[in-house]
Structure 1
Amino acid sequence: MAHMLDIDQLRTFVAIADTGSFTKAADLVHKTQSAVSMQMKRLEERLGRAIFERDGRYSRLTEDGDRLLDYARRIVRLNMECLASFGDVDLAGRVRLGVPDDYADRYLPEILARFSRSNPKVEVTVVCEPTPMLVERVNSGDIDLAIITHVDGKNYSAEIIRVEQLLWVTSARHCVHDETPVPLALGRPNCNWRQSATEALEKAGRPFRVLYSSWNSTAVGAAVLAGLAVSVLPESAVRPGMRVLGPSDGMPALPACKIGLVRNHHDPTALANALGEHIIQSLDNLNVNRLQAAE
């Protein structure tokens, strides 16, 4: 008969996977390093597989470790949800959510409305910052979870909860995209959307110049609506007064935008898990509503 997995061991395993270090994980789960090492030895014995391999000073997941990680996250989260469902009182307290401002305008009204109706005693603190800063805040425990723009290959783990096409947009009343070089309004240099836009234009041989650079989506949108520049936005962010550009306008194709949810797995709470599920459901409903509106 197969052995049952220990949830506390899985929680420690997730902490090691996220930090890449037994020492750092020990601090997060409030155990000694020797206790963490013993837990992982017992977990490997239960599985009959090696789940870690050394990479210099750090510990890297094996192929079996990668496979276990997704199960471990779900088991730990379901355990929290189960305990919360049998609680004697309604959820109450404060949960901290991070979100870039360009997602806040589109997603927060639906998310917060749904969550407030189901959990009227919960206070949601919202932090609006760019994705790299939000990931750091989650890792340091400053916030409980964050909606981010996910980039493949980054050293953080995110649940992909929505995928949208990136689009070129300009003012519906102007033809600034016909200028050479084409003027652009984009995020800061390390913004993934900006990098996708400039790489696509360079590959297509289309001259461009970045005239406006800001983390603030309202400022970028204002430059577009005023007919001063072209920008890139996910499909759901296109506003009234904007026109989508395509190959017939001389604009190359852009990649899809992955929207992810990053959670603080080191100290999960019932409040954070409940809000995370509401976020996933709300963005799923947004997909459904879009399809229904198009029919």
Structure 2
Amino acid sequence: MMNLDIDLLRAFVAVTDSGSFTGAAEIVGRSQSAVSQQIRRLEDAVGYPVFERTSRSLALTGVGGQLLIGARRILDLNDDIVRSLQAPRANGRLRVGLCEDFVPQQLARLLARFLKLHPGVDLEVNTSLTRELFEAYDQGLLDLVIATRQLQKRGRTIWREPAVWFAASDFRLDLGKPIPLVLLRAPCTYRETIFETLDAADQTWTAACTVSSLMGVQAAVAGGLGITILGRSFIQDGMQILQVPPNWPDLPLTEIVVVGEETADRALVQPLLSFLADGLRGPLEV
């Protein structure tokens, strides 16, 4: 039986998650050429290509998609074993507020793994919009908040990803008409970014739909009601990253910050933050 190399699998998952060899190189701490060589070695080992490469895109092949499922399981098991041998046991109760736009595709899996590694932690998770989490924290209802950076610049940055314009897969941008927008209700950083960007581009728009949750935004966009701005990790099947005109300003990075780590129980906070940072395997600088 063939043994799969952990380092090759880690490079493969990094390329998939970042969408590029350049992004993967930053994640695994190697050069772009070294990552490319690792992917070639992996393809030689499995006997099939794992990516379909063009000059403008990178997509998983059928074999690549099948391999990705197993690769994540192998890496999770490897990393959990190492972490369980190195990390001290944490015990106690921690009330954590997590914003909805904190890497939605990975968060549930990461929290489940954390609790298996730290069965002594009573983790109470409140998932909501950023402004609601900060209100709960200020009222003493939460020990720790992990949320989108707001205008008040609270907290320490632990994650960044590009913000993108996205729409339904069959959406076609017509600049001759007001752009239909899907918006979160105010106050909202994404909402303000949308308005500032379109105003700077002198582009007319209309509020086609206003919702109160990020899941609502995804549903409205996937349904073809309009376009919006969110972090890149929110792109799902049936959606596309929208190619906008060059005169539209570049979008800022989406930043996730942690608030409360100075006052909460460090014996509980530090294992959780370290686990999330390791599990995301993403660079702060995008």
> Out of 164, 167, 180, which is 1:167 matched to?
164
Letter aligned with residue 208 of structure 1: W
* C-alpha separation in 2, matches of 1:139 and 1:264: 14
Letter aligned with residue 261 of structure 1: V
Letter aligned with residue 209 of structure 1: T
* C-alpha separation in 1, matches of 2:103 and 2:124: 13
Corresponding residue number in structure 2 for 1:273: 270
Corresponding residue number in structure 2 for 1:129: 128
* C-alpha separation in 2, matches of 1:104 and 1:159: 17
Q: Deviations over 1:172-198 (max 9, x none)?
A: 123255561111011112100110111
Q: Is the 8 A contact 2:159 2:282 kept in 1?
A: no
Q: Is the 8 A contact 1:137 1:143 kept in 2?
A: yes
Q: TM-score, with normalisation over the residues of structure 1?
A: 0.60
* 4+ residue segments displaced more than 6 Å: none
Letter aligned with residue 101 of structure 1: E
* C-alpha separation in 1, matches of 2:137 and 2:204: 39
Corresponding residue number in structure 1 for 2:39: none
Structure 2: which 5+ runs fail to align? Answer: 1-86
Corresponding residue number in structure 1 for 2:95: 96
What are the residue-to-residue correspondences of 1:62-141 with 2, within 5 Å? 90-103=89-102, 105-141=104-140
Corresponding residue number in structure 2 for 1:147: 146
1:165 is displaced (CA, Å) by 1.2
Instruction: Find the residue that maps to 2:104 and give its secondary structure.
Output: helix
Identity over the aligned pairs, expressed in percent?
A: 27
Letter aligned with residue 198 of structure 1: F
* C-alpha separation in 2, matches of 1:100 and 1:177: 33
Return the index of the structure with the highest Cα Rg.
1
> Out of 187, 191, 197, which is 1:190 matched to?
187
RMSD: 2.6
Q: Is the 8 A contact 1:138 1:264 kept in 2?
A: no
Q: Deviations over 1:202-229 (max 9, x none)?
A: 1100001112222311111111111111
* C-alpha separation in 2, matches of 1:106 and 1:146: 19
CA change 1:248–1:272 in 2 (3 A) is same
1:104 is displaced (CA, Å) by 6.4
Letter aligned with residue 121 of structure 1: G
* C-alpha separation in 1, matches of 2:107 and 2:174: 31
1:235 is displaced (CA, Å) by 1.3
Higher helix share: 1
> Out of 207, 220, 225, which is 1:223 matched to?
220
* C-alpha separation in 1, matches of 2:195 and 2:123: 37
* C-alpha separation in 2, matches of 1:246 and 1:93: 48
CA change 1:270–1:281 in 2 (3 A) is same
* C-alpha separation in 2, matches of 1:111 and 1:286: 14
1:132 is displaced (CA, Å) by 2.0
Structure 1: which 5+ runs fail to align? Answer: 1-84
CA change 1:258–1:220 in 2 (3 A) is same
Instruction: Find the residue that maps to 1:189 and give its secondary structure.
Output: coil
